[in-house]
Structure 1
């Protein structure tokens, strides 16, 4: 079927052209999602929900709610299946820290994101909000308990929210808040829109946090949809190592975008990469004094070397400037050249992961 948003945009554009009054704003709106998108199916579902007893579910307009059962650890999934499916293997897009699946949707300045672009190129695409983030929700029991009993021991040490001042250098838009690198590809004029995408690290309120819940939820997704190429970003980088260990036969390839170095993969996880193509991808300005640059590059380089020492290891480490794509930030899926980066990934998939 024709994607409804594309159909509306095309109809609106045709109407305005017919009236002789199309303007810049209308043109931008019509082009913002890349034009009509032909889909066989689109929908949403949840995986990995677990029942959990809650003594303190909170207070409703009718008064305190009685203890009961709530769902926890669920993961929201939005899928799009192209009408002409030329890519045999689906792609699962997993966001990074303090963010949600919106990372892969429309960019902050209104251009097409990878979620629809990969569909346009023939792949079924599944975009997730990992447990504790965005539409996946979180478990508020500990907050309610702390207030009811005056005891904060059940609360996590922190529920981080990334400030604008932290995000700007951390994501390597520039050396300091408000100062961009001269060649930055990130649309800094739309930074306020990017900041609106930020969500709390509420997975801290789930038992075991993100590393306990994220890989398990992704494994549940692959159990449901079958083999897939998994793209992870930033703090979700270690999810790929864990997921390959959990479901080696269902992970057909991994694209790890500037993956975090905080969790070192085990020898068993490295061994599970046997025969699984891996692309470790990094942007520009890696020598900026933040841990999303050179430290992560060196850490993932060590992982690539470990994978390739295993018989059948097929890992590749790439810096985008080395392949002619310069100025990319930590948020390369939203940079001005995001579709060029997507084409590079698709080329690698065609070459290595079909």
Structure 2
């Protein structure tokens, strides 16, 4: 920095001031670059609500004395009474310039929450904001038993113990690692699928998203999703993994309100006896890579394709896309988190546009 005559540039105070000026300039440059990389999102509204659920009465339990805070005064807690349970949490973002013909509802998979759609383990933009930028009103939920939806007692209300996953389980089961025993505590020793697009360097951030799940709450979850559809109105539903069956079954229950269904690697299907209900619901099913290298996914994909064929036989419209067959390779089960997630989102956006679901 060149000193201007009669300034304190040569003094200690002047040099400190100069460093502050340079630091501020650097911050401004970084902020400008970030703004250019991703323009600000303009919303007309945002908020949240809980929906669904029921009241359940529990009786016959002993009264307990509980100290809620260390050093606090103990209080008697009577667990007998009426509880609100099986509700679902929904957060919504409404863009200032809406281009989607209907709201987009995002439903996560098993052992996960709405965080699935918000961002990626390595901090890139997730599908929630991707589609929000495209002008979609986005409703992102934590389903029954997950995250901000809350838990309930078991076995009094939830009829089974929760399932918790080890750190290794998703790595080996979600086609991130190359099958059984591919995970290692040492990242350098992990065996990743060849050409994988998953951000394996941030895998620990992914497993931090995991929450317990129950295997006996499907009916309550479907009831809550139906309640969401009834509240929001005609919508497009995007599902992933476990919520695949929820999406199909809710569409079968509300075919007039589900205007399209996007199933990203659905782990299960709807009711085969009710495929007729889906004939007017445009459906897109997307599968990632490495399916033939896995022990379970060939069967799950075959079930999904067979269900799609039965819908088409009933007069419905279903597009099944295997990403490697259209030149998009390396995707794990967590397609929305992979490094090419924007490319896959663009494929889905294009499908929505071709179906006349944008305005």
Fold-level match, TM-score > 0.5?
yes
Q: Deviations over 1:133-176 (max 9, x none)?
A: 1110111253xx7xxxxxxxx87454211212111121111212
What CA distance in whole angstroms lies between the structure 2 residues aligned with 1:89 and 1:17? Answer: 48
**1:242/1:17 Cα in 2 relative to 1: closer, same or farther (>3 Å)?**
farther
- Whether the aligned pair in 1 keeps the contact of 2:154 and 2:161 (CA below 8 Å) is no
1:184 is aligned to 2:196: yes
- Whether the aligned pair in 2 keeps the contact of 1:92 and 1:229 (CA below 8 Å) is yes
What is the match of residue 193 of structure 1? 205
What is the match of residue 317 of structure 2? 314
- SS of equivalent to 1:74: strand
What is the match of residue 301 of structure 2? 297
What is the match of residue 274 of structure 1? 279
C-alpha displacement of 1:58:
7.0
What is the match of residue 117 of structure 2? 104
**1:155/1:248 Cα in 2 relative to 1: closer, same or farther (>3 Å)?**
closer
1:342 is aligned to 2:345: yes
What CA distance in whole angstroms lies between the structure 2 residues aligned with 1:193 and 1:236? Answer: 22
**1:33/1:252 Cα in 2 relative to 1: closer, same or farther (>3 Å)?**
farther
C-alpha displacement of 1:200:
0.2
Q: Deviations over 1:185-242 (max 9, x none)?
A: 11000011000000000x44xxxx3320122111111111111110111011110121
- Whether the aligned pair in 2 keeps the contact of 1:92 and 1:230 (CA below 8 Å) is yes
- Whether the aligned pair in 2 keeps the contact of 1:169 and 1:290 (CA below 8 Å) is no
What CA distance in whole angstroms lies between the structure 2 residues aligned with 1:16 and 1:164? Answer: 46
C-alpha displacement of 1:43:
0.5
Q: Deviations over 1:236-273 (max 9, x none)?
A: 11101210121110000001111113x652312x1110
- Whether the aligned pair in 1 keeps the contact of 2:94 and 2:137 (CA below 8 Å) is yes
**1:59/1:267 Cα in 2 relative to 1: closer, same or farther (>3 Å)?**
farther
**1:326/1:28 Cα in 2 relative to 1: closer, same or farther (>3 Å)?**
farther
- Whether the aligned pair in 1 keeps the contact of 2:154 and 2:160 (CA below 8 Å) is no
1:257 is aligned to 2:251: no
- SS of equivalent to 1:272: helix
**1:330/1:99 Cα in 2 relative to 1: closer, same or farther (>3 Å)?**
same
Normalised to the residue count of structure 1, the TM-score between the two structures is 0.84
C-alpha displacement of 1:16:
9.2
- Whether the aligned pair in 1 keeps the contact of 2:145 and 2:151 (CA below 8 Å) is yes
For 1:1-354, list aligned pairs within 5 A.
Answer: 19-22=24-27, 30=34, 34-55=38-59, 56=61, 60-61=66-67, 62-140=75-153, 142=155, 156-175=159-178, 176-177=182-183, 178-201=190-213, 203-204=214-215, 209-261=216-268, 265-268=271-274, 270-291=275-296, 293-311=297-315, 313-352=316-355, 354=357
What CA distance in whole angstroms lies between the structure 1 residues aligned with 2:294 and 2:136? Answer: 37
Q: Who wins on radius of gyration, i.e. which is larger? A: 2
**1:278/1:67 Cα in 2 relative to 1: closer, same or farther (>3 Å)?**
same
- Whether the aligned pair in 2 keeps the contact of 1:34 and 1:111 (CA below 8 Å) is no
Alignment RMSD: 2.6
Normalised to the residue count of structure 2, the TM-score between the two structures is 0.83
Q: Deviations over 1:300-351 (max 9, x none)?
A: 000010000002x101111011112110110001111111111111111111
Q: Deviations over 1:78-98 (max 9, x none)?
A: 100000001111110000011
- Whether the aligned pair in 1 keeps the contact of 2:152 and 2:158 (CA below 8 Å) is no
Listed as ranges, the gaps of 5+ residues in structure 1 are 1-14, 146-153
- SS of equivalent to 2:217: helix
